Amino acid sequence: MKKVFTKDLKVGDKVLKFDRPWLETGFIKHKFVIKNQATISKIAENDIEYVYIEAVSDEQKKVEKVFSGDTKELIEEIQENLPDNHINIEDFNSANDIYKESIKIVRGVLDDVRAGKMFNSGAIKNVAENVAELTMRNKGVLCSVTKLKQHDDYTFQHSMNVSVYAASLASHLGMDATEVQRIANAGILHDVGKMLVPSEILNKPGKFTDDEFAIMKNHVQFGYDFLKKQGLPSDMLRLAYEHHERFDGSGYPRGLKDNEISIEGKIGAVVDIYDAITSYRVYHKGMEPPSALKLMFKWADSHINKKVFEFFIMNIGIYPVGSLVLMNTNELAVIGKANINKPTEPVVLIFTNKAGDKLPVKSVDLSKNTVNERKIIGPVNPEKIEIPDEIYKYIDGLNKIS
C-alpha cells in the first residue's frame, strides 16, 4: 500500500483506502480502480487530500510498459539476460520426462471432466508448479521439448503446450514466479470446455460445418462456467474465457476489442494460435515455426496484439533450438544456438553432406559466415530423419553459461 496525494493520482491506480473512514466519503465502493479523470476530480471534490493505493510491483510495471509502447528498454534488458535461454541437456531430458508425464496427468483429469467425475484441481496445480519452476529456471527448455512432437491426442498435448508457451511468455513479460504458475495452470485448463462438447464433433477430422463450428465455439463459455463453479479465481479464468477474443473484436464469445482483453487473454490468443498451427493433426501436418510466425505477423494488430506477439517471437526464436533445417548447400542441420540479434543466423549443427550421407557433427556460426556463405533454406519435417544423439551434447555445450 502506498500513500498518494489526490493531485498525484493517475488513471489505473487502485484505491484501497481514503484519508478518513470510508463512510464519511461520497463513494459507494471503498476499493476501486480509477478508470477516468472524472473519478480523480470526484475524490478532490470530496476534499480528500490523500488516499492509499496498491503499490505496483516491478513485474506489473514491466507489463504496463509493454502496453504503453515503450518496449525498447525492455527488449535491451531481455537481450542482456539472454543466458537464461540456454538449454542444458540434463534439464532438457528431465523436462522431456516431466512434459510426457504431465500430458498423462492432464489427460486423466480432462477425461474425468468429460465423464462427469470429480475435478482434480490439485493434480493440475502440481503440473503447473513444475511448468513454472522449469520455466523460471530455464526459459527455453520446455518450449524446445514441445518441438518433439509426440502425436498424443491433440487436445491433451495442446493443453500442455499452451501452458508451457504461456508460462514462458509470461516470464518474458516480467511476471513473477507466482503469476507464471497461475498462467501455467490457466493454460492447462484453457480448453477444458471442449470436454463438454460432444466428442464426435470435437474429434471430427477436417473442417466443421457452420452448425458444428457454432457448437465448438461453446467450449469457451462451457469452460468458463465450469472453472467458475470449481471456484477458480478470476485472473485464472481470464485465459480460458478470452483466448478466442481477437484484437479487432472479431473473436468470441463476447467480441471484446484489444483494450478490453486482459493480458492473460492476449497471451492465450497468441500461444493458442501458434500451437494450433504448428501442431500435427490427423488432417494437416503442422507448420514449421518460421512459416507459422510469418503467418501470424499478418495477424498482428488485427487478430492478436502485436507487442505480445513480438515478445513471443523473442521468447521462442524464429528457428527454435533443436529444430531441423535444410541449408542452401543441401546439408541438413539442427539449430544449436539462437542468435537473438540476427534471428536468421543462428549456430547450426550440420550432420550430413550434400548427398545426405551422415558425417560427424560440425558446428557453424552463420553470423560469422565469410567464405562459403551458408544459409538456411527452411525447416525440415524431422519425422523421417534420424537426428544423431550427439547433437544434443553439442546443444548442451553451445548453450552452457561459462
* Burial tier of 235 (Cβ tally within 10 Å: 0-12, 13-18, 19+): middle
Closest residue by beta carbon to Fe ion: 191
Q: Which three cell numbers mark 136? A: 523460471
Q: Residue 244 CB, nearest distance to Fe ion (Å)? A: 6
Name residues whose C-beta falls within 8 Å of residue 221's C-beta, 6 or more positions apart in sequence: 193, 253
Q: Residue 169 CB, nearest distance to Fe ion (Å)? A: 17
CB 289 within 8 A of CB 323: yes
Cα dihedral 400/157/175/273 (nearest 10): 110
Q: Which three cell numbers mark 45? A: 471534490
- Pick from 317, 321, 345, 289: which is nearest to 396 by CA? 321
Cβ-based nearer residue to Fe ion, 296 or 347:
296
* Binding footprint of Fe ion on the chain (CB under 5 A): 191
Cβ-based nearer residue to Fe ion, 50 or 154:
154
Q: Cα–Cα–Cα angle for 185, 97, 279, nearest 5°? A: 65
CB 264 within 8 A of CB 278: no
Cβ-based nearer residue to Fe ion, 202 or 325:
202
Helix (H, G, I), strand (E, B) or coil at 365: strand
Q: Residue 242 CB, nearest distance to Fe ion (Å)? A: 10
Q: Residue 191 CB, nearest distance to Fe ion (Å)? A: 5
Q: Residue 358 CB, nearest distance to Fe ion (Å)? A: 42
Cβ-based nearer residue to Fe ion, 91 or 191:
191
Cβ-based nearer residue to Fe ion, 191 or 258:
191
Q: Residue 265 CB, nearest distance to Fe ion (Å)? A: 12
H/E stretch holding 347 reads strand 347-352
Helix (H, G, I), strand (E, B) or coil at 151: coil
Q: Residue 207 CB, nearest distance to Fe ion (Å)? A: 16
- How far is residue 159's CA from residue 184's CA, in Å, rounded to a whole number? 10
DSSP-assigned letters across all residues of 83-138: GGG---HHHHHHHHHHHHHHHHHHHHHHHHHHTT----HHHHHHHHHHHHHHHHH-
Cβ-based nearer residue to Fe ion, 253 or 388:
253
Q: Residue 190 CB, nearest distance to Fe ion (Å)? A: 6
- How far is residue 248's CA from residue 13's CA, in Å, rounded to a whole number? 26
Cβ-based nearer residue to Fe ion, 273 or 395:
273
Q: Which residues of 69-104 are buried (b: 16+ CB within 10 A; e: fewer)?
A: eebeebeeebeeeeeebbbbbebbeebbebbeebbe
Cβ-based nearer residue to Fe ion, 255 or 378:
255
Amino acid at 39: T
- How far is residue 62's CA from residue 66's CA, in Å, rounded to a whole number? 6
Cβ-based nearer residue to Fe ion, 191 or 345:
191
Q: Residue 208 CB, nearest distance to Fe ion (Å)? A: 13
